[in-house]
């Protein structure tokens, strides 16, 4: 009889606080499945890597793995990179069966968790500054941003459900990178609409470089519009309903209902503007940054990384080792300081850069994003200037 184990597959972050928060998902699932081994791993920038987590399950006698992506939406990571890693591991370990579940996605529990975070922010703002009516409030939901329009459209749907469900005067969507509009242009547009309060809600599971930049960008726009009250809502984190949704995804695998959303996947169908990517071979682009550490033990950020350690001058100032940025951005590699035409040093075609530990460029490139010249994106938010 098979022994079942649960594997939670994350992206990974340079921010050690984000890694600690991700580990709470595994802890939450362990509490919900006390008889089942639960492990987790990351694609990049964090240890353990996914293969190491799978090794730990195998060492506990597990031969049937229920793998769930620790992702809000299914873009390239959930649709391509994680399956590639899992398929490679299964091929190398014939005695292990790995069944892959779906992303958290558009789910009533996730919407309720998001609503709770937004209402939490409103209650705190009312207590501190006095009440402002919901009809005089604009909700700005900030998504991660992907080169996959299917994932980007899901953020807009979450925003609409929160907007309509909570009864705000207006709702808008923007993104932290890769696509458009970015946070700065999105908030500047929202500020012109005449609302007294703007709630900025990062629809993110965990903290990290991008959440920190979203809040920083909010502060910058707020300083230019002192007549508007800008409220920074907390991200999802380990809200009990988020953990319940992870549990549901595991149960779906057991029930044979773990269906990924392939209908609008740019790898399968001719989605408008992404026709050239149909049928591309699936391989993970993260193999060369697996296990590269999220942060340095002696870094001044104390685990709450904002990616300053990818800046050569910062490293020299603090006596830290400098790892050059490795990017997959098209049409060519970025310098350590970034290129205003192509993106920030944190970005590749999926919206993140890599500190390349091997000292040479990689031949693999992503397909170019078709709207790379959009005036409101898709460059990432820039790192705050010291």
Report all structural domains of the chain as residue ranges with CATH numbers, in order of start. Answer: 4-105+240-255 (3.40.50.1400), 112-232 (3.40.50.1400)
Provide the β-strand partners of residue 177.
none
d(CA 47, CA 50): 8
Burial call 183-210: b when 16+ CB within 10 Å, e when fewer:
bbbbbeebbeeebebbbbbbbbbbbbbb
Residue-level pLDDT at 59: 97
pLDDT of residue 75: 74
Q: Could you tell me where the DSSP H helices lie in the chain?
A: 16-32, 50-59, 76, 82-92, 108-129, 149-166, 183-191, 209-224, 240-255, 312-318
At 83, is the secondary structure helix, strand, or coil? helix
Kindly report the number of other CB atoms within 10 A of residue 213's CB atom: 23
The number of beta carbons lying within 10 Å of the beta carbon of residue 281 is: 7
Tell me which H or E stretch contains 192: none
Residues in the chain: 386
pLDDT for position 64: 97
The pLDDT assigned to 28 comes to 92
Backbone angles phi, psi at 159, to 5 degrees: -60, -45
Query: H/E element holding 40?
Result: strand 38-42
The residues of the chain scoring below 50 in pLDDT are 261-264, 286-289, 291-292, 294, 296, 325-365
Q: CA end-to-end span of the chain, whole Å?
A: 58
The CA radius of gyration of the chain, in Å to the nearest whole number, is 21
Measure Cα distances from 265 to 104, 106, 261, 270, 279 in Å.
Answer: 16, 15, 7, 8, 11
Task: Decide: helix, strand or coil at residue 119.
Answer: helix
- Provide the β-strand partners of residue 197: 137, 229
Give residue 327's pLDDT: 37
pLDDT at 203: 97
Taking alpha carbons only, the member of 376, 335, 336 closest to residue 178 is 376
pLDDT in tens, 218-229: 999 999 999 999
Question: Given the DSSP bridges, would you call strands 137-143 and 64-69 parallel, antiparallel or unpaired?
Answer: unpaired
- What is the phi/psi pair of residue 108, to 5°? -60, -35
User: Which pLDDT score, from 0 to 100, does residue 383 have?
Assistant: 66
Helix (H, G, I), strand (E, B) or coil at 279: coil
Q: What are residue 4's phi and psi, to 5 degrees?
A: -90, 140
pLDDT at position 353: 35
**Strand pairing of 64-69 and 325-326?**
unpaired
Indicate the SS3 state at residue 156.
helix
- What is the H or E stretch that residue 383 is in? none
Quote the distance between the C-alpha of residue 115 and its chain's center.
19
In this structure, are residues 231 and 137 in contact, taking their beta carbons and an 8 Å threshold?
no
How many other CB atoms are found less than 10 A from the CB of residue 218?
21
Q: What global pTM score does this model have?
A: 0.73
Calpha distance 27→217 (Å, rounded) = 32
Structure tokens at 243: 């953990």
Alpha carbon distance 18, 36 (integer Å): 25
């Amino acid at each position: 009889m098979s022994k079942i184990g649960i594997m939670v597959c994350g992206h990974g972050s340079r921010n050690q606080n984000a890694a600690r928060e991700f580990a709470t998902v595994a802890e939450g699932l362990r509490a919900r499945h006390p008889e089942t081994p639960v492990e987790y791993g990351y694609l990049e920038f964090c240890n353990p890597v996914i293969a190491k987590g799978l090794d730990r399950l195998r060492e506990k006698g597990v031969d049937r793995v229920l793998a769930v992506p620790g992702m809000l939406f299914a873009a390239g990571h959930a649709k391509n990179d994680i399956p590639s890693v899992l398929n490679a591991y299964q091929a190398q370990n014939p005695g292990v069966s790995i069944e892959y579940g779906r992303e958290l996605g558009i789910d009533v529990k996730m919407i309720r968790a998001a609503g709770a975070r937004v209402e939490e922010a409103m209650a705190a703002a009312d207590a501190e500054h006095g009440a402002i009516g919901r009809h005089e409030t604009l909700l700005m939901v900030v998504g991660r941003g992907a080169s996959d329009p299917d994932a980007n459209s899901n953020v807009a749907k979450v925003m609409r459900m929160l907007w309509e469900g909570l009864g705000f005067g207006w709702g808008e969507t923007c993104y932290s990178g890769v696509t458009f509009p970015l946070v700065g242009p999105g908030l500047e547009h929202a500020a012109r609409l005449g609302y007294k309060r703007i709630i900025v809600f990062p629809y993110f599971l965990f903290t990290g470089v991008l959440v920190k930049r979203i809040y920083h960008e909010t502060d910058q726009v707020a300083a230019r519009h002192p007549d508007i009250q800008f409220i920074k809502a907390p991200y999802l984190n380990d809200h009990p309903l988020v953990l319940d949704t992870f549990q549901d995804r595991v149960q779906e695998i057991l029930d044979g209902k773990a269906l990924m959303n392939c209908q609008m996947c740019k790898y399968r169908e001719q989605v408008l503007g992404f026709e050239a990517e149909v049928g591309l071979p699936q391989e993970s682009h993260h193999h060369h940054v697996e296990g590269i550490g999220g942060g340095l033990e002696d870094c001044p950020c104390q685990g709450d990384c904002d990616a300053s350690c990818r800046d050569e001058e910062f490293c020299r100032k603090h006596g830290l080792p400098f790892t050059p940025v490795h990017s997959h951005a098209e049409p060519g590699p970025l310098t350590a300081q970034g290129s205003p035409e192509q993106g920030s040093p944190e970005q590749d075609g999926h919206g993140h850069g890599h500190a390349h530990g091997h000292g040479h460029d990689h031949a693999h490139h992503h397909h170019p994003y078709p709207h790379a010249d959009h005036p409101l994106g898709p460059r990432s938010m820039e790192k705050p200037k010291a």
